Structure 1
Amino acid sequence: MDPALQRVLDAHFPGLHLPAELAALIPRRRLSDGRSVFVQGQRPGAFYAVAAGEVETRFTGADGTVSVLEHVGPPRLFGLAAFAARQPAGYEAIARGRCELLVFGPEAYARLMDEVPGFARALLAEFAARFDGNLRLLQAARHQQAPERFALALAQLARERGRPAADGWLEVAATQQELALLAHLSRQTVNELMQAERVAGRLRLGRGRWWCRLQ
């Protein structure tokens, strides 16, 4: 099995056994910098996992303003909701630098749902976790102060993207802009809160990533 596919399974569908004939239905797709995976308003013909590199998801408003939603790296999934619901995508996904994707097309999706025990439950858990995280952030945006919204967004990104690092730290590939959008805060406020966490020894900062203590 493709090692990148195994990492995706371990991250999103732990314990799932994928027969070789089904794994063969999930090919790699290579993209050069700036190439579009799908555009906003298009119904995706598959959902994807990042095998290598990075994909930027972004939303274009009615006035033409472009807002970057997040930068998706390995082994994360994207395009899942629009594909499963057979609805137009609410955002555009483009390659940032050279990247490689794993493509879960209609045949692979149907057979995974019908033939692989545990896949549907794991997929439902993935949707539920995303919905719960978004709901908590929406509640926080309406009722909680900046530090609480910041902490919730920080925890959600750590759950979704965290990878164990040395000495009990968790490495999270995410930018301050992504954290600000998720927490409904200004980038300046997020920067101030991150610096306070750094001074307190609870956060380490890097370019496009940060480290927090494992809970």
Structure 2
Amino acid sequence: MTISEPQLELRQVLLGNFPTLNLANDALARVAPLVPVRQFATGRTLFAQGQKPRAFYAVVSGEIEARLTGPNGEVSSLEHVQFPRLFGLAAFASDQPSSYEALARQPSRVLVFGPGAYTLLMDEVPGFARALLGEFAQRYGGTLRLLEASRHRSAGERFSLALTQLMRERAEGPPDAEGWQTLRSSQAELAALASLSRQTTNQMLGAAVAEGYIRLGYRRIWVRATAMGPRR
């Protein structure tokens, strides 16, 4: 069976999030018409904080920022979502208001998984429900680790913990021959993940660069895991 371009993009997204999913071509052909692609201009909001999303999403190209506004009006960036990561899952699946807003940081193409696609995937694609539960568990576990770190650990330990989580969730392929691992992350995202100020994070990154286990680029961090030790 020939796979169309929309089906190929959908396959790449699903297997990018759930590598062990057994996604047969006939199931893919039935799901694809239920998952439209939408384009969002820079600054366009996909869903607002406090709004119940009518779908969950995956980035095909571009970048979506997940951010929240605190009671004092301060805006905190949670994540810069890129291909193929899913977002909006928890609020959609639980039918609860979203705890954050999502908006396009640049012109972006996004897959939209509405109720029809969700039902078909859950009911007719073997292993999808189990894979989705595993994804929820991983994200929840990461949130708990960071919450515990923010309350009880030093700034250096939180910095190391956040780097470790990024290596697990945002790595672009395996390490190269010299042991460098490429992470899709900005310095602002690292600071938010570690619950540290931008200034403290920049100081720690500068020290790590001097020690030779981190290199920095535009929305990329390279980590040499073999040289990475605990920070205090």
Q: What is the TM-score of this pair, normalised by structure 2?
A: 0.87
Counterparts of 1:141 and 1:86 in 2: how far apart (Å)? 29
2:88 to 79, 90, 95: 79
Task: Give the Cα–Cα distance (whole angstroms) in 1 for the partners of residues 70 and 201 of structure 2.
Answer: 23
Contact 2:76 2:192 in 1 (8 A): no
Q: How does 1:192-207 map to 2 (within 5 A)?
A: 192-207=203-218
1:184 matched residue in structure 2: 195
**Counterpart position of 2:156:** 147
Distance in 2 (CA, whole Å) between partners of 1:99 and 1:187 is 27
DSSP-derived class of the 2:146 partner: helix
Of 11, 15, 36, the residue aligned with 1:6 is 11
* Mean Cα deviation higher: 72-81 or 198-207: 198-207
Partner SS for 2:169: helix
The answer to whether structure 1 residue 108 and structure 2 residue 108 are counterparts is: no
Pairing 1:91–2:82 present: no
1:50 maps to 59
- Three-state SS of the structure 2 residue aligned to 1:162 is coil
**1:101 offset after TM fit, Å?**
0.3
Once residues 8 and 160 of structure 1 are traced to their aligned partners in structure 2, the CA distance between those partners, rounded to angstroms, is 15
1:116-170: CA deviation from partner (whole Å, max 9, x where unpaired): 1110111011011111111111111122111111111111122111112643432
Q: Secondary structure at the residue paired with 1:163?
A: coil
- Once residues 97 and 177 of structure 1 are traced to their aligned partners in structure 2, the CA distance between those partners, rounded to angstroms, is 17
Structure 2 residue corresponding to 1:136, chosen from 138, 145, 159:
145
| Letter matched to residue 13 of structure 1 | F
Shift of 1:71: 1.1
Is 1:38 the counterpart of 2:43? The answer is no
Distance in 1, matches of 2:123 and 2:20, equals: 17
Give structure 1 stretches of 5+ with no counterpart. Answer: none
Q: Distance in 2 between matches of 1:202 and 1:11?
A: 27
Q: Percent identity?
A: 55
1:96-123 Cα deviation digits (max 9, x unpaired):
1110001111010011111111101110
Counterpart in 1 of 2:167?
Answer: 158
The 5 Å alignment of 1:62-77 reads 62-77=71-86
Is the Cα–Cα contact under 8 Å of residues 29 and 100 in structure 1 kept in the other structure? yes
Structure 2 regions of 5+ residues with no counterpart?
227-232
1:61 aligned partner: 70
- Letter paired with 2:19: P
Distance (Å, rounded) in 1 between the aligned partners of 2:171 and 2:125 = 27
Matched, 1:26 2:35: yes
Look up the equivalent residue of 1:180 and give its one-letter code.
A
How many residues align structurally?
A: 215
Q: Which runs of 4+ in 1 moved over 4 A?
A: none
Return the alpha-carbon distance in structure 1 between the equivalents of residues 200 and 102 of structure 2.
Answer: 27
Partner of 2:34: helix, strand, or coil?
coil
Q: Whole-Å Cα distance in 2 between the matches of residues 61 and 75 of structure 1?
A: 28
- Deviation by residue 1:80-105 (Cα, 9 ceiling, x = unmatched): 00000000111111111110001111
Q: Which residue of 2 aligns with 1:119?
A: 128
Quick check: which has more Rg, 1 or 2? 2
What is the TM-score with the length of structure 1 in the denominator? 0.93
